[in-house]
Chains A and B, each alone.
Chain A
Amino acid sequence: METFRRKRLEIVVEAPMLEALERMLGEIGVTGYTVLAGREGRGSSGRWIEEGFTSAFEKRIVIAVMTADTAEKVFTRLKTFFQRYSGVVFSSDVDVMRAEKF
């Protein structure tokens, strides 16, 4: 079966900044993504856990698949974004069946 090479990005941000991230992805032209909630973990500022009474420190994980060009644009924008806001991004190569979807 023919498949097509794309980039899969996983972007971890704090819940309050999810909206800004989604707006940025929209501006770049990322057409689809899935948002997951982080439960607990450890990062540069120590251990964190989803605490219930405030969403201020909850993490959201955005998973998106896109072309290498678009991924490059996302990385460029995120570079400045992460100068102020907490979070990480990483990418990997994936294969998709329907090129027009991504």
Chain B
Amino acid sequence: MGDVLALAAQNLMAPAILFFVLGALAGFARSDLTIPEPIVKTLSLYLLLALAFKGGVAARATGFTVELAAAAIGGILLSFFMPWIAFWILRALKLDKLTAAATAAHYGSISIVTFAAASDFATRAEIPAAGFMVAVAALMETPAIISALLLAGGKDAGAEATSQEGAQTVRGWSPELIREVVLNGSVVVLVGSFVIGLLTGDAGMRKLDVFVNAFFQGALCLFLLDMGLVAARRLAHSRRLTAALFGFGVGMPLIGAALGLGAARAIGLDVGSAGVLATLAASASYIAAPSAMRIALPEADPGVYLTLSLGVTFPFNLTIGIPVYFGVAKALWGG
């Protein structure tokens, strides 16, 4: 327990976390602080590239292991099945079916920035995670979106209104949805950079060392400053956030983290990778899932799912969740 508290305190004093808090305070105080949208996009691309490239280089060093394959399968299964738990809870909280399904997709899918923060935390706390975890993260983006479509009731439910007149607006797999899910920009950069890291290894790292390592912290700080602003503005404008939903936004990550730790234990991952898998399972998407849900379930209320994932779960994981997941992993793994 003391360990967990020490890790939590240490986490809160990290510059990246403090920049997030600064952004949030500025957002709540209605400061005119903004980071230009193209810069946020570039920063986001940079973080994905650096993370995945480093992961690829590390994965090349360890090679293809049974552990890697097991972690990949574990991640996919977590992403696929967690939406059912989330959906069940949300329906019990009387949320409408489609919004519950869309929200469930967000909680099965992952947040890559939370992953970045977890990797950063692991490095700082000297609990290193396996390089291949970034590939596991990429694999966990999509399965939950499929689950949400199944939960929403497939192709026909609620789509009668649009079946006539050939307005091809389907609940199922429209071309836009497939493109959004498979070729989502962030997934492409993530997978592509991992492969490039894997192919080029240490020689590639020597060329990109300064770019992917030295600038990483600064970029993360700037990006989290923006995320703090956005999260605070989301919360301030939220109209449908009830106490029960807020409870879900904090409780669901804990359930996810517990499942993640259980899966990591069963697979036999090291303590750092277990902390990362728990964080991934606890995190909620706000990049891939919202776009997919706007296409597949436009009736679902983004005021619920984006506010929860961005305004509640992301700040919770960033400030409290990550150190707790790593702390518990450390205690369980006897490190």
Residues of A within 8 A of B (CB): 14-17, 19-20, 23-24, 27, 45-47, 50-57, 76-81, 83-86
Contacts and interface: CB of A to CB of B under 8 A. Distances in A.
A76 B227 CA distance: 40
A23 B162 CA distance: 16
B331 to A, nearest CB: 34
Contact of B176 (A19, A54, A57, A83): A19
B290 A23 contact: no
29 contacts: A15-B291, A16-B291, A16-B292, A16-B295, A20-B175, A23-B175, A51-B37, A52-B35, A52-B37, A52-B38, A52-B39, A52-B44, A53-B44, A53-B113, A54-B287, A56-B290, A56-B293, A56-B306, A57-B290, A57-B306, A77-B165, A77-B167, A80-B164, A80-B167, A80-B169, A81-B162, A81-B167, A83-B161, A83-B162
Contacts of A84: 159, 161-162, 169, 298-299
A80 B41 contact: no
Interface of B: 35, 37-41, 44, 113, 159, 161-162, 164-169, 174-176, 179-180, 226-227, 230, 237, 239, 286-287, 290-295, 298-299, 302-303, 306
Contacts, number: 94
Max count, chain B CB within 10 A of own CB: residue among A52, A77, A81: A52
Max count, chain A CB within 10 A of own CB: residue among B167, B292, B298: B167
A77 B168 CA distance: 10
B175 A76 contact: no
Contacts of B39: 52
Max count, chain B CB within 10 A of own CB: residue among A16, A57, A77, A78: A16
A47 B295 CA distance: 20
Interface of B is mostly: helix
Contact of A56 (B168, B174, B294): B294
A79 to B, nearest CB: 8
A76 B167 CA distance: 10
B168 A23 contact: yes
Contacts of B162: 80-81, 83-84
Contact of B298 (A19, A50, A53, A85): A85
Nearest to A85: B298
A83 B298 CA distance: 10
Contacts of A16: 176, 180, 291-292, 294-295
A45 B303 contact: yes
A45 B167 CA distance: 23
A39 B161 CA distance: 31
A80 B174 CA distance: 16
B237 A52 contact: no
Given A53-B286, A54-B291, A57-B302, 7 more contacts: A16-B295, A20-B174, A46-B239, A47-B237, A54-B287, A78-B167, A80-B164
A17 B37 contact: no
B229 to A, nearest CB: 10
A17 B41 contact: no
Contacts of A50: 37
A19 B179 contact: yes
